[in-house]
Every structure is written in structure tokens, then in C-alpha cells.
Amino acid sequence: MALIVQKYGGTSVGTTERIKNVAKRIARFQKEGHQLVIVVSAMTGETNRLIGLAKDIQSSPDPRELDVVVSTGEQVTIGLLSMALMELGLKARSYTGPQVRILTDNTHTKARILKIDEDRIRQDLDEGHVVVVAGFQGVDEAGNITTLGRGGSDTTGVALAAALHADECQIYTDVDGVYTTDPRIVPEARKLDRITFEEMLEMASLGSKVLQIRSVEFAGKYKVKLRVLSSFQEDGEGTLITVEEDSSMEQPIISGIAFNRDEAKLTVLGVPDRPGIAYQILGPIADANLDVDMIIQNVGHDGTTDFSFTVNRSEFDKARGVLEEVKAHIGAREVVGDKGICKVSAVGVGMRSHPGVASKMFRTLAEEGINIQMISTSEIKISVVLDEKYLELAVRVLHKAFELDHAN
Ligand code: ADP
Ligand code: ASP
Ligand code: MG
């Protein structure tokens, strides 16, 4: 008998018919003697609909109240799934995040899980219940409802698996595993049987939304056995996220291509080139709680330099406002911005031992006439910022150039 946490995403519970199918899968696992904790997302499109309602009323919704609104999507699915399980003769009980007491910090709309009370869940499991928990939500110390950021149900699943010392955490979604890149963009993408935590962390942070990055962080930290699988297939091994690099197989140099459209670039032109300038620009940005990704400061000439960085596209206007104030303060010439950019990254632990990945990436893009606006590298990834119109082309040609297409 194993204790398994299963998480079902929005598409997997998108209709009542699909919820009934999920219930049947759960029943099969229970029949095999396993204890099951199920985490569900809101029905597909529901979270967007709720955000839309909020924005109809407040263009920039109050974060506390937005959490009150968007957390309701998951409350519907836990109840429906529990009913579907009961219809199959199973004992089931649903809980919202606050009912479990998934304690988070108070950063509304992107809260972090601090602690989970697992006593009640354990008691239910011991009594033979399937426990169904709402993903994406928790409660802060003061009793306010919080949410964990888009895709946050993955993190609820993994955090529960960690708290309960589950034998495995299974993430059921609409693809049958983690692919070399998003199979919706590159049909030739190949499913990976395994991927290391390190690589998955990079893929997730660079835009592969198949797993929320915090879920991967949690799984790595608490050694949760994590697998991504399809809820639309009867069987299949999915993709296992592993600690070890698989030494029995020859490692590919590049494991995947990730991309992100949600970025925007800001440049401060004619910045006086003197010590402390990066701090004077980025300090106020950090104070405004804005995350900065890539940063480039050009070599100075004539006593001035240009300073560029990228932010999340949804935070562009706010960041620009901050920079306009900074500009006046430091005596810079102009602030310019570009919302039409994207980031494309090649990820692979094999990069450590193989030089030449960057030059191959740049050559491949050059051959297609794609201009690179910014570059950043780490030990196992190379990222470039491009004009958004090249996103799909760049992902496809890089996927091919690094021999990731399944024809290879
Ligand atoms: P869920 O609603 O189940 O959480 P998501 O839409 O959040 O599902 O994540 C699954 C989607 O992630 C897939 O449909 C796919 O388009 C996308 N995706 C992006 N990158 C990858 C990748 N490397 N491998 C698999 N899927 C990916
Ligand atoms: N329903 C939330 C979202 O759409 C959380 C999730 O699906 O993981 O982002
Ligand atoms: Mg998701």
C-alpha cells in the first residue's frame, strides 16, 4: 500500500464528464489498496473568467479581494469530484486550502506555503476516505485567503506530498509528460522519460508552464518523487523528475528548449556612468516589488551608458513609472520600453562538459536572420531575448539544431 498524492489540472476536470473519468481513475488506484490525496485545479478557463470579473470592477483589483474571488474556482471542483467519488461507492471528503490549514505568508496572489497541518487528512485517510484538496490556495496567519500564483495547484500537490511523506506525487495534465519543448509549438517534440530536478527547475523558470516552478523547488528540497502524466491516457509512465543524472544513458547536451512570452524590456538611455548607478536604478524597482530578469549595462562612452533589463510583461507599466522617476533623479536622458519581446532558452546539464553550445545557438539564429537583443547564460542554460515575432521560428530551428526532434 502506498500513499499517493495526485493532482489534476484544469483541462482534466474541465467538464463534469471529465470529473467522472478522474473519479474512475482514482477508484482504480484505491482498489489496488493505495491511500489517495487528490488536489484539483479549477475547471479550465474558470480562473481567467474570475480574474476577468474582478477586472470589470477594478482595473487593478485589490489583491486581498482578488484572492477571495479567484480561490472559488477550486472550491467548485473539490465538491464535484467528491460527489463523483461517492457515486462510485467511495468514501470522499473535500477541503479548501484554509480548511486543511495550508498556512502561507501574506503575499496575496503569489503567496508561499509555510506549513501544512496534516492531522485531519491523515485521520480521514485512516478511516478510508479519499481526501480531495483545493489547489492554489491557503490562508495566512491572520486568516486571510491567499492564492499561490498561476499554476499554483502543482505546488499544493507537491507540498502536500512532502508534508505527508507520500510515496509519490503524480501531476496529471493534458500532455503525457515533459517534452523537449512545448508540443503545441513543435509537433516534433519528444517526450522525456526522465529529467533532472535541476533541468526541470530551469525549464519551469524559463517559461515551460507544465509545472509551476515552486512545485519543482519543493520536490527537490523535500525529495518528493514527482511524475508528470496524462489524465487522458489509461496508462503510460509519463516523465519522472529525478535527482540523479542517468549515468547509464549518454546524456544529450541539450535536454530542452523553453520560451516565455510574458516578458518586456526597459532601457534607460544616457545614464551617467558612475559607481552605484545600477543600485540607483534597480533599488527602486525592487522596492516596488517588481522582479527583474535579465540585466545588461553597456560599456560607457562619453561618460554615459545605457542600462537595460527585462520584467514580467504584466508589470511593465508599473516598472516604467518607477523608471521615469529614477530618470529625473539620476539625470538620465530617456526611458524606452518594448513589450513585444520574448525569451528563448536552451537547457541541459550536458552543457557543463560541452563547449560550443552558445556559438551553435547564435549561428542557428543568425542563419534565420533573427536578431538577438540580449543574452544571459548560466552553467546549464543559455537564454536570448528576441523580437516576439520570431518566437515560434526560433524554438523550432533550435529544437532541430540541437537534434531534439523525435525523428532523430
Ligand atoms: P494543467 O491545467 O494540467 O496544470 P498546464 O496548461 O498548466 O496544465 O500545463 C500543461 C501544458 O504545458 C501543456 O498543454 C503544454 O502546452 C505546456 N508545456 C509547455 N512546455 C512544455 C513541455 N516542455 N513539456 C510538456 N508540456 C509543456
Ligand atoms: N486555477 C489556477 C490557475 O489557473 C491554479 C492552477 O490551475 O494550478 O492558475
Ligand atoms: Mg498548470
pLDDT tens digit string along 188-216?
Answer: 999 999 999 999 999 999 999 999 999 99
Domain of residue 383 covers 257-401
Q: What is the pLDDT averaged over residues 292-306?
A: 88
Give domain status of residue 215, yes or no: no
> Would the pLDDT of 46 be above 90?
yes
Calpha distance 180→178 (Å, rounded) = 7
Ligand 1 nearest atom to the CA of residue 178, by list position: 24
Q: What is the amino acid identity at position 65? A: E
Give residue 116 CA to ligand 2 midpoint distance, Å: 19
**Cβ count within 10 A of residue 383:** 24
Calpha distance 209→173 (Å, rounded) = 11
Give domain status of residue 16, yes or no: yes
Q: Which of 49, 147, 150 to mutate to test the pocket of ligand 2 (most atoms within 8 A of CB)?
A: 150
Give residue 321 CA to ligand 3 midpoint distance, Å: 31
143 and 13 both lie in a single domain: yes
> Would the pLDDT of 73 be above 80?
yes
The total number of structural domains in the chain stands at 2
In sign, the C-alpha dihedral spanning 284, 290, 292, 296 is negative
> Which position has the higher pLDDT, 367 or 252?
367
Could you tell me if 63 and 109 are in contact, meaning their C-beta atoms sit under 8 angstroms apart? yes
Verify whether ligand 2 is closer than 6 Å to residue 197 (CB atom): no
Give residue 150 CA to ligand 3 midpoint distance, Å: 7
In sign, the C-alpha dihedral spanning 119, 122, 126, 127 is positive
CATH number of the structural domain spanning residue 310: 3.30.2130.10
137 and 268 both lie in a single domain: no
Q: What is the pTM of this model?
A: 0.92
Q: What is the pLDDT averaged over residues 326-333?
A: 93
Give domain status of residue 210, yes or no: no
Residues with CB under 5 A from ligand 3 (ion): 9, 151
Question: What is the tens place of the pLDDT at every residue in 239-294?
Answer: 999 887 665 555 678 999 999 999 999 999 999 998 999 999 999 999 998 999 99
List beta partners, residue 383: 345, 376
Which band of pLDDT confidence, cut at 50, 70 and 90, is reported for residue 149?
A: very high
284 and 164 both lie in a single domain: no
3-state secondary structure of 369: coil
> Would the pLDDT of 334 be above 80?
yes
The beta strands (E) that lie in 88-163 are given as: 91-95, 102-104, 113-116, 129-134, 137-140, 145-147
Give residue 253 CA to ligand 2 midpoint distance, Å: 33
Q: Which of 11, 72, 153, 231 to mutate to test the pocket of ligand 2 (most atoms within 8 A of CB)?
A: 153
Cell of 137: 490556495
Question: What is the tens place of the pLDDT at every residue in 57-69?
Answer: 999 899 999 999 9
Ligand 1 nearest atom to the CA of residue 172, by list position: 3
Could you tell me if 254 and 381 are in contact, meaning their C-beta atoms sit under 8 angstroms apart? no
What number of residues does the chain have?
408
Q: In 3D, which of 8, 6, 12 has the Cα closest to residue 37?
A: 6
> Would the pLDDT of 400 be above 80?
yes
Find the angle CA(399)-CA(403)-CA(404) to the nearest 5 degrees: 55
Give residues with Cβ within 8 angstroms of 305, minimum separation 6: 271, 273, 277, 297, 298, 299
Ligand 1 nearest atom to the CA of residue 171, by list position: 3
Question: Residue 250: what pLDDT?
Answer: 59
Which residue stretches of 240-296 are H helix? Answer: 277-287
152 and 292 both lie in a single domain: no
> Would the pLDDT of 144 be above 70?
yes
Cell of 6: 495526485
